[in-house]
Structure 1
């Protein structure tokens, strides 16, 4: 089975988000559930398995769980389920021509699907349309922040 494209992954439920964090930790960081529980501190492997199966992790442990796993799918799902959009803070890097072309292609796909939606909503997969629009907004917000960093660069500390 090929590895997931984690940049494009969007959880459809809390259970999906929690399992995705665990899967990400296993795939990218080579962390087992036992190791995740150990790194979380005062958490047993049995407790973590229970929370994952019931989708009922204590809220105060979610940030620690995500930090250990290296992914923020639970926080993203919680925000999205409340009607909020989460845009990761850009790290600021020079964009390649290929990346700009991909942004353009994603924008074109989103706008053509949006036009089709307004022509006849019953013929458009609304979940796919929402994903396309969110991806486009994230890409544009990233570029907005990158340009803002150019206008007001951060100071570099000398070693």
Structure 2
């Protein structure tokens, strides 16, 4: 099975979001049986949740946590018109990461131009633009976070706080 580029993949239904979350977990070498075991459920009940899109809300965060991706949460936010931006970590972006963001931004703008010309799907263009805005908002928060040191960045030298 080819690896999915998760930055370009968008769920369009709750069932699809649950399936994508499971696929993400499988790419992390988790079997459905293993995921179900960590949720305290049988694999049959997990398959039922996935096929019916009827996973209880109190199991959703645990499911996403085990699989390693908040795809369902992101779908739910997007379906209500909200953007979802991860908390900044204070980590500086690497050049490769910024280059990939630049490529993605160009692809999104090309899709936007094609949408206005009538040669691209509205839904796909909207999804790309939402993902781009989220990625840019995340980078904005990382830049803001650079000015504010974490508690881990404080050290004591001769009784004075020193920022590392």
Q: 1:155 to 1:53 in 2, by over 3 A?
A: same
The residue aligned with 2:162 is none
Deviations 1:75-123 (A, max 9, x none): 11111111211122233322233433333333333334434544x4x33
Deviation, structure 1 residue 130: 1.4
**Which has more strand, going by share of residues?**
2
Q: Which runs of at least 4 in structure 1 moved beyond 6 Å after TM superposition? A: none
1:54-73 matched pairs, under 5 angstroms: 54-73=52-71
Structure with the greater alpha carbon radius of gyration: 2
Give RMSD over aligned pairs. 2.2
The residue aligned with 1:10 is 10
The residue aligned with 1:32 is 31
Deviations 1:22-58 (A, max 9, x none): 1211221x222222121112x2222111111111111
**TM-score, scaled to structure 1:** 0.82
5+ residue gaps, structure 2, are 156-164
Q: 1:105 to 1:19 in 2, by over 3 A?
A: closer
**TM-score, scaled to structure 2:** 0.80
Whole-Å separation in 2 of the counterparts to 1:142 and 1:70: 19
Across the two proteins, how many residue pairs are aligned to each other?
Answer: 154
Whole-Å separation in 2 of the counterparts to 1:31 and 1:124: 36
Q: 1:106 to 1:12 in 2, by over 3 A?
A: same
